[in-house]
Amino acid sequence: MKRRYVTADVFTDRMFGGNPVAVVLDAAGLSADQMQAVAVEFGYSETTFVLPPRDPSHTAWVRIFTPSREVPFAGHPNVGTAFVLTQEMAARGEAVPDRLVFEEAAGLVPVDLLREGGAVVGAELTAPEPLSRRAEVMPERAGACLSLAAGEVRTDAHPPQVVSVGLPFLVVELVSRDALRRARSDRTAYESVFPLDGAIAVYAYTRDVGTAAPEAGTDLQARMFTPRMTEDPATGSATAAAAALLAEVRGGADLRLRVGQGVDMGRPSLLLARAGRQGGVMIAYVGGRCVRAMEGSFRLAGP
């Protein structure tokens, strides 16, 4: 069976920036093993597979795979998938709604579209879970995961801690932009810390941002290191979790953040995050612009 795919660069306004995602549009009938093999073939941080929704009132059932596993939720794949699907709707002459709802392992993920001049230019998702704060890690162990000293880990706002709004990460604040720039994942330290309360990756950020492009105008600069000892250019799920954590430690008031990521790896990204308390729990959102990059097809029958 011929299956179409489209790739998009997410959290950027230009091709070859941001974080690429491959969206397989015709995924019905593929097994989990086949989806995993396709994700390995693309080699992106994540590949999404679009299937008919189990509830017809929803837009689609979306499964998300990294090159090593299926994940219950992720940020940039949802934003990119929503962007691609609305482009496909428009190309078919269909009315494009203001909100899409994806069925995922973590729950329902509403995604609101961002428009300029009537055209969809990106999207913002609502995280499927409220903030949960989990295990804390000593600064020296968190720093070691990033090849940094304990003194380069900042703890006045919060300790290094596993947090989640759908996918857990160890969130670590660093004292300076220089420390963030020098951060490198250390396999031995990773293996001594992870897995931990569902987390297998480190999201490091700093409030010490630069004044020159592309960092000017951001509130945080961040990097995310995976258990494969690779770096992710833009991590929506971790950014949303970090925004929720910071909103909570600042007293629960609504918080908006412009977060830069990917600068040190040559794929500058801008993530727009917000968080606030609703019904007694902390809810997070993250969004940004997208650019359509490539498209094609492959033949793969179901099992």
Residue in 233, 224, 175, 234 with CA at minimum distance from that of residue 200: 224
Active site residue 46: yes
Residue of 46, 103, 129, 173 marked active site: 46
Residue with tokens 């000293």: 149
C-alpha distances in Å from residue 219, one per residue of 32, 214, 258: 39, 12, 5
Residue in 150, 251, 146 with CA at minimum distance from that of residue 205: 146
Peptide bond into 160 cis (omega under 30): no
Full 3-state SS string of the chain: CEEEEEEEEECCCCCCCCEEEEEECCCCCCCHHHHHHHHHHHCCCEEEEEECCCCCCCCEEEEEECCCCEECCCHHHHHHHHHHHHHHHHHCCCCCCCEEEEEECCEEEEEEEEEECCEEEEEEEECCCCCEEEEECCHHHHHHHCCCCHHHEECCCCCCEEEECCCCEEEEEECCHHHHHHCCCCHHHHHHHCCECCECCEEEEECCCCCCCCCCCCCEEEEEECCCCCEECCCHHHHHHHHHHHHHHCCCCCEEEEEEECHHHCCCEEEEEEEEEECCEEEEEEEEEEEEEEEEEEECCCC
Q: Known catalytic residues?
A: 46
